[in-house]
Amino acid sequence: MDIVDTIRQDLRVKTADNHGRVDELISRHDLTRPEGLAAFLAINHLAYTSISRHLRPHSGFTLPRLSLDEIEADLASLGAGLPTWHAEPDMETAHPIGIIYVIAGSRLGGTVLHARWQQTDDSNVRLAGRFLSQMTDRSCWTDFLLQVSNARISQSEFIDIVESAKCCFSIFEAACHDVTRKFAYDPPQPRN
């Protein structure tokens, strides 16, 4: 197993609980309904806004694009305002590689979410697909894998990377809880 597989596997294992909680919370929102899509977009807007204050360049790594413009345009298409935090959490640890791992990795799930969104028959929801369409671009994940394979990461730095990824997931988790309070609506219908 080469270094990229080891780092990726170790990150996946050490952040699995955090990732799983976020996935479960996000999956509660029906992306084929205006309310569900607006909540999903609001979650990402809150999280990206917080994360953007901590994401900084790191030697040999390309920063992923945080698509706030697309999210804002989609929210406007749905007639939803920009969300604000009720209680914004702080990132205790903010190593760029940990943050990049979470953001770049989200593009893998973006393809699944995009496919769910495409099942809508609601014309307003169809007009609000800029962010989800952008999420299908996996190039930042491919770039991350290449860049991490060329990086020299010490054990102590790896610990910071893992903690940063966990903090990043916790920002998304807090955004999910924050938005769910604001966007309370009927629970999504079960998927077939």
Query: CA nearest 41: which of 74, 77, 64?
Result: 74
* Domain extent listing, the chain: 3-82+92-182
Record the tokens describing residue 79, joined without a space.
């007639």
Quick one: pLDDT at residue 101? 97
- The values of phi and psi at residue 61, to 5°, are -120, 140
Nearest CA among 135, 131, 137, 148 for reference residue 96: 148
Name the H helices within the chain: 3-14, 16-26, 34-52, 68-77, 96-117, 123-126, 130-134, 139-150, 155-182
Q: Is this structure's pTM higher than 0.85?
A: yes
Q: Contact, 4 vs 152, CB < 8 A? A: no
What is the reported pLDDT for 1?
44
Along the 192 residues of the chain, how does pLDDT read in single tens digits?
455 568 889 999 999 999 999 999 999 999 999 999 999 999 999 999 999 999 999 999 999 999 999 999 999 999 999 999 998 998 888 999 999 999 999 999 999 999 999 999 999 999 999 999 999 999 999 999 999 989 999 999 999 999 999 999 999 999 999 998 876 654 444 444
pLDDT score recorded for residue 5 = 61
- CATH of 3-82+92-182 given 3.40.50.2300, 1.20.910.10, 1.10.8.60, 3.40.50.620: 1.20.910.10
